[in-house]
Amino acid sequence: MEKLISELIRLYLLPGSPAAQALAQRGEGRACAPVDLAADGVTRAIVLPFRRAAGEDAHHWDRLCTVANALQADFALPAPAVSVASAGGYVLWLSLAVPVPLADARRFVDGLARLWPDTLPAAGDVVGAPVELPPCLDAATGRWAAFIHPGMGASFADESGLEMAPPAPGQVAFLDGLESISADRFQAALARLAPGPASVQPLIVAAPRDGGTPAGLLLKDATLDDIVRHLHARNIEPTFRFLVDQAQR
């Protein structure tokens, strides 16, 4: 649990902030309230929810992949983390190496929303709003918010969180090795996302001719073997019954 808390603080929390203090006191297996990742008008995380619209299939996962892959391919940003929310849907987690003003974070999200209309919520609804910080148990529903392997994302399209607590070593494995967005790269992306004729247009990331997956990009259809190799590379023995169940559906 200590390693997991360390990874969450490394990536998303402001040192000494109320959120960091609350995380340090969080007991394993207990329900947890949403936390405010911002403090003193700045933040180190940009959190983008992708909720399932009424009557649609798994398009919310497709939308997440489009945005996440473009952030890496078009803006040269490091790979984000992906989580499932306890009430359903997905969340994309962008880590910032240096705290940025909330106004800049909102400009960033507004720029993304201009590129992908009807895909992302308004910046005012997500930047600075309290969020579930996985792994987190929703006391009302008994479901867990948790980080997931990006390649298994489509398997959770019809789920509302997880039925059981995700093992801490697995959560660490999904965060370990992730990088934060440097200040220079964030400012460069912010400039490209500014409204006007010079703003960037989204690119379509083509699949490689050999059928493989571009390095660093999200896997939309990973196999269970892919997940096992990912965890074994981090010296973690996968015993996640819920992942196996999802993969066999």
pLDDT in tens, 38-72: 999 999 999 999 987 655 665 788 889 999 999 99
- Reported as a single tens digit per residue, the pLDDT across 188-229 is 999 999 987 545 554 433 333 333 334 444 544 444 555 555
Is the pTM here over 0.95, yes or no? no
Look at 141 and 48; give whichever has higher pLDDT: 48
- Reported as a single tens digit per residue, the pLDDT across 4-26 is 999 999 999 998 898 888 887 77
Distance between CA atoms of 63 and 246, rounded to whole angstroms? 21
In this structure, are residues 182 and 190 in contact, taking their beta carbons and an 8 Å threshold? Answer: no
In this structure, are residues 149 and 174 in contact, taking their beta carbons and an 8 Å threshold? Answer: yes
Longest dimension (CA), the chain: 51
Which residues 6+ apart lie within 8 Å of 45 measured at CB? 11, 12, 13, 37, 93, 94, 95, 96
